[in-house]
Amino acid sequence: MHVPNGFLDAPTSVATGVVAAGAIGLALRGARRELDDRTAPMAGLVAAFVFATQMLNFPVGAGTSGHLLGGAIAAVLVGPWTAILCTSVVFVVQALLFADGGITALGTNIDLMGLSTVLVGWCVFRGLQAVMPKRTSLVPVQAGLGAFVSVPVAALLFTALYAVGGTADIPLDKLAAAMVGVHLLIGIGEGIITALAVGSIIAVRPDLVYGARRILRARELEIRPAATSGASS
Amino acid sequence: MSAGRRSGLSNRGVWIAILLVSLVLAGVVSFYAASTPDGLTKVSEDQGFARTETTHESDGSPLAGYQTDGVANGRLSGGLAGVAGVLVVLALGSGVMLLVRRRPHGGEADAEADAPDSERV
């Protein structure tokens, strides 16, 4: 969903750039609470992993393809603030080195593919975690669902930005339908990849997954008074 | 955090695994990625605003378009670009995280964040 130069007008691009800069500023503060000696090295690696998976376009229906956006998976693995930093690094490198996503559209791309997928993915993930049983085995499912929802929402957000500052006069209802349609399919891929990747780490080291820690902590507190109940896993 | 551990895999083991997977995905598997236009590109073609795209400032970059300048073999050219990208993102990402952690002020947050360190293996 990398937005090239020219799709959005200058004022809109400046506005999205300001939002992106503000979000990164907040994230630089917020990430301090998420990063410790175990998560800090994870964060750089998660950024690298998101970059790698964004090279892997998978086919979705007729003549089109999509790739992971990565906000949801990053948020679940290293925390939402850190995830904003991870995804921003990816988009900066892609724009500067790989000519993928315009430089004037960098703020737009950080907002659409990073910030919004982190926020939506994390909120859906935490919402599901709140209502579902507190089991680490459910974390990959919840992460996958958050990832799935985040993609069509980002597509809608692009449509909204286009409504404000699109450079061509096109029917917005058709744009919205086309964007959400194809990105629902891409979202399925995003959900599956996210669930598989989070599941692989949960299987070996659930404590390295930020989104699973709350459950692990709660479990430790529960187990101690009732050590004989064998409540583990 | 021993309750969270189900295997003998160390922190370093997990980190190396993620790095290797990323390098293989970007360096090798990327060659097999779908080459059909990405969702937004396709929509812009279908809805008639693809023509509004303007040139990219970084088109002259040696890695523009995920290909390495001067490498004729497509597999090698894309693979090298992918590996370079993973390493650059890793370096930049890790650098940002180091900076975030190093910034002085806010000692109470540090104390909290550092608490689990004593349990590190």
DSSP string, A156-181: HHHHHHHHHHBSS---HHHHHHHHHH
Asked if residue B119 is part of any domain, the answer here is: no
Contact B30 A56 (CB under 8 A): yes
DSSP A136: G
Asked if residue A199 is part of any domain, the answer here is: yes
Asked if residue A4 is part of any domain, the answer here is: no
Asked if residue B17 is part of any domain, the answer here is: no
Residues of B whose CB is below 8 A from A168:
48-49, 51-52
Selecting from B42, B51, B53 the residue whose C-beta is nearest the C-beta of A64 gives B42
Residues of A whose CB is below 8 A from B85:
51-52, 55, 93-94, 97-98
As for how many domains chain B has, the answer is 1
Compute the distance between CA of residue B64 and CA of residue B31 in angstroms, rounded to an integer: 16
ipTM of predicted complex: 0.91
B59 interface with A at CB cutoff 8 Å: yes
Asked if residue B74 is part of any domain, the answer here is: yes
Each residue's pLDDT tens digit, B75-118: 999 999 999 999 999 999 999 999 898 755 544 444 444 444 44
Whether the CB-CB separation of A214 and A125 falls below 8 Å is answered with no
Selecting from A33, A36, A48 the residue whose C-beta is nearest the C-beta of B89 gives A48
Q: Per-residue pLDDT for chain A (233 aa), expressed as one digit of tens each?
A: 999 999 999 999 999 999 999 999 999 999 999 998 888 899 999 999 999 999 999 999 879 999 999 999 999 999 999 999 999 999 999 999 999 999 999 999 999 999 999 999 999 999 999 999 999 999 999 999 999 999 999 999 999 999 999 999 999 999 999 999 999 999 999 999 999 999 999 999 999 999 999 899 887 776 655 545 444 44
Domain that holds residue B104: 42-109
Asked if residue B47 is part of any domain, the answer here is: yes
Element (H, E) at A97: helix A80-97
Contact A98 B65 (CB under 8 A): yes
- Supply A3's token pair: 């937005």
Asked if residue A31 is part of any domain, the answer here is: yes
As for how many domains chain A has, the answer is 1
Whether the CB-CB separation of A53 and B29 falls below 8 Å is answered with no
Give the total residue count for chain B.
121
Domain that holds residue A138: 10-219
Residues of A whose CB is below 8 A from B100:
28, 31-32, 35, 85
Asked if residue A78 is part of any domain, the answer here is: yes
Q: E strands, chain B, where?
A: none
Q: What is the CATH number of the domain that holds A48?
A: 1.10.1760.20
Asked if residue B68 is part of any domain, the answer here is: yes
Asked if residue B50 is part of any domain, the answer here is: yes
**Beta-bridge partner residues of A66:** A58
Asked if residue B89 is part of any domain, the answer here is: yes
pLDDT at residue B7, as a whole number: 58
pLDDT at residue A228, as a whole number: 52
Contact A51 B26 (CB under 8 A): yes
Alpha helix segments (H runs only) across B9-71: 11-27, 39-46
Asked if residue B96 is part of any domain, the answer here is: yes
A104 three-state secondary structure: coil
